[in-house]
């Protein structure tokens, strides 16, 4: 049974230098319409699957570059064509300088009840350092208008590890984030993804990355600050008020079947993972010829499944059952003795120290 639907919207107003998501800069309304028509066709290609959608997630790219009427039309189409539960979680990622009150109101009417705003920081200096095209004022306005429209389940993204960002700056940001009536905060470490202009400037020594100790201090500050303000960390990068965890993302981490549509979208259905082409032209051409745009598919066998359970489970606050690690108990013991992890009942859970080196721990354990 497919419980989640991810829709990739590959349009942005600019390309942020650190971003490796598949997107192009385009505000061409004709192209947006053509893309939505392609998404509709793609959904119909999967109509024979068993759906009972509990979550729909519009990510990107910048879904809020689409006219709210177009986005709403597509939501009504989904509800019309496939089985959706009574009150699904419907999330839209929003760039702070795009949607305003009337736009939020329109998509709310179509059923959107969760908004994720790409604020990144409430300090102008950080935004310029990140190469973002929105201002702090835009972020305040987006939050205000979203709340005014009646959508109160709001996530704000935060980036840490920015050059020249001090712990004091980060604390100032956290103070502002938690002073707003939002339910969820995602905090991501600035990462030099391969092939991005940001990675190039790191390689050329133009941009200095924070070292491990600095990043650890930042993560500890974020975690302790947010937890004292009532945001509980439930995943490596995600904190929420009680009852406001992102149901859609939990599906990914817990291997609940989901369909991803659009350019570069991934799906996990019946033990198989597949991925669509990352090329917009190829995507549109395939769909318009009635072909599925998947270019990659693999069956997740038992041992791969267990590895993924460990890899994804360690990101979660609840950790993984110790029995998953039965062949690696010596390593587990060592990790516990060095305060990288702890045992709680029958589960192995990473500490803050462990979470900061999660990739190394995962390669040790699987
Ligand atoms: S707006 Fe988001 S998706 Fe678009 S380029 Fe910037 S970080 Fe990437």
Please choose from 8, 9, 12, 162 the residue to mutate so as to test ligand 1's pocket, defined by most ligand atoms within 8 A of CB: 12
Domain count, the chain: 2
**Which tens digits make up the pLDDT trace of 225-267?**
999 999 999 999 999 999 999 999 999 999 999 999 999 999 9
Ligand 1 center from residue 128 Cα (angstroms): 14
The CA distances from residue 304 to 337, 357, 363, in Å, are 28, 22, 13
pLDDT score of 366: 87
Same domain, 307 and 182: no
Ligand 1 atom having least distance to the Cα of 20: 8
User: Which residues span the domain enclosing 336?
Assistant: 303-365
Same domain, 137 and 244: yes
By the 8 A CB rule, do 167 and 221 touch? yes
Ligand 1 center from residue 14 Cα (angstroms): 7
Same domain, 308 and 243: no
Same domain, 52 and 173: yes
Q: Secondary structure of 74-112 in the HEC alphabet?
A: HHHHHHHHCCEEEEEEEEEEECCCCCCHHHHHHHHHCCC
Residue 225: how many CA atoms within 13 Å on its side-chain side? 20
Same domain, 168 and 38: yes
Buried b / exposed e over 83-122, threshold 16 CB at 10 Å, is ebeeebbbbbbbbbbbbbeebbbbbbebbbbbbbbbbbbb
Q: Which of 51, 46, 61 is nearest to 1 (CA)?
A: 51
Q: Which residue ranges of the chain lie beneath pLDDT 50?
A: none
By the 8 A CB rule, do 320 and 314 touch? yes
Ligand 1 atom having least distance to the Cα of 14: 5
Q: Which of 63, 74, 356, 313 is nearest to 216 (CA)?
A: 356
Please choose from 8, 11, 23 the residue to mutate so as to test ligand 1's pocket, defined by most ligand atoms within 8 A of CB: 23
Give nearest CA residue, ligand 1 atom 2. Answer: 61
Q: What is this structure's pTM?
A: 0.96
Q: Which of 171, 187, 173 is nearest to 221 (CA)?
A: 171
Ligand 1 center from residue 103 Cα (angstroms): 20
* Alpha-carbon span 225 to 96, nearest angstrom: 24
Angle at 358 between CA 313 and CA 194, to 5 degrees: 110
Of 192, 222, 253, which marks where a domain is finished?
A: 253
Ligand 1 center from residue 112 Cα (angstroms): 21
Q: Which of 197, 136, 128 is nearest to 165 (CA)?
A: 128
CATH number for the domain spanning 360: value is: 1.10.10.920
* Alpha-carbon span 82 to 120, nearest angstrom: 35
Ligand 1 center from residue 59 Cα (angstroms): 10
Ligand 1 center from residue 38 Cα (angstroms): 22
Prediction ipTM score: 0.99
Same domain, 183 and 92: yes
Name residue 293's beta-bridge partners: none
* Alpha-carbon span 9 to 17, nearest angstrom: 19
Strand order in the sheet with 341-344: 320-321, 347-350, 341-344
Exposed, middle or buried by CB within 10 Å (0-12, 13-18, 19+), for 271?
A: middle
Same domain, 220 and 324: no
**Which tens digits make up the pLDDT trace of 5-38?**
999 999 999 999 999 999 999 999 999 999 999 9
Pocket of ligand 1 (CB under 6 A): 12, 15-16, 19, 21, 23, 60-62, 95, 118
pLDDT score of 302: 92
């Amino acid at each position: 049974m497919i419980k989640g639907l991810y829709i990739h919207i590959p349009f942005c107003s600019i390309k942020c230098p650190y971003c490796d998501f598949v997107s192009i800069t385009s505000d061409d309304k004709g192209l947006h319409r053509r893309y939505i028509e392609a998404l509709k066709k793609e959904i119909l290609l999967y109509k024979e699957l068993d759906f009972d959608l509990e979550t729909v997630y519009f990510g990107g790219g910048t879904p809020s570059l689409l006219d709210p009427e177009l986005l709403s039309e597509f939501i009504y189409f989904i509800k019309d064509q496939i089985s959706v539960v009574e009150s699904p979680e419907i999330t839209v990622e929003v760039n702070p300088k795009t949607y305003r009150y009337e736009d939020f109101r329109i998509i709310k009417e179509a059923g959107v009840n969760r908004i994720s705003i790409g604020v990144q920081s409430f300090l102008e200096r950080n935004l310029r350092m990140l190469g973002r095209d929105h201002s702090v004022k835009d972020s305040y306005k987006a939050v205000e208008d979203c709340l005014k429209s009646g959508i109160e389940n709001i996530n704000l993204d935060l980036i840490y590890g920015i050059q020249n960002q001090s712990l004091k700056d980060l604390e100032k940001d956290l103070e502002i984030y938690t002073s707003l009536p939002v339910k969820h905060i995602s905090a991501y470490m600035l990462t030099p993804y391969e092939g991005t202009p940001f990675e190039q400037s790191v390689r050329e020594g133009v941009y200095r990355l924070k070292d491990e100790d600095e990043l650890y201090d930042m993560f500890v500050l974020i975690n302790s600050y947010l937890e004292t303000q009532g945001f509980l960390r439930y995943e490596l990068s995600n904190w929420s008020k009680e009852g406001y965890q992102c149901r859609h993302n939990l599906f990914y981490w817990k291997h609940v079947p989901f369909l991803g549509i659009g350019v570069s979208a991934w799906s996990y259905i019946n033990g198989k993972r597949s991925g669509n082409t990352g090329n917009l032209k190829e995507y549109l051409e395939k769909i318009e010829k009635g072909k599925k745009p998947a270019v990659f598919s693999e069956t997740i066998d038992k041992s791969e499944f267990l590895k993924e359970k460990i890899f994804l489970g360690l990101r979660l606050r609840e950790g993984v059952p110790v029995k998953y690690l039965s062949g690696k108990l010596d390593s587990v013991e060592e990790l516990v003795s060095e305060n990288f992890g702890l045992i709680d009942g029958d589960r192995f859970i990473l500490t803050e120290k462990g979470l900061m080196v999660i990739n190394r721990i995962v390669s040790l354990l699987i």
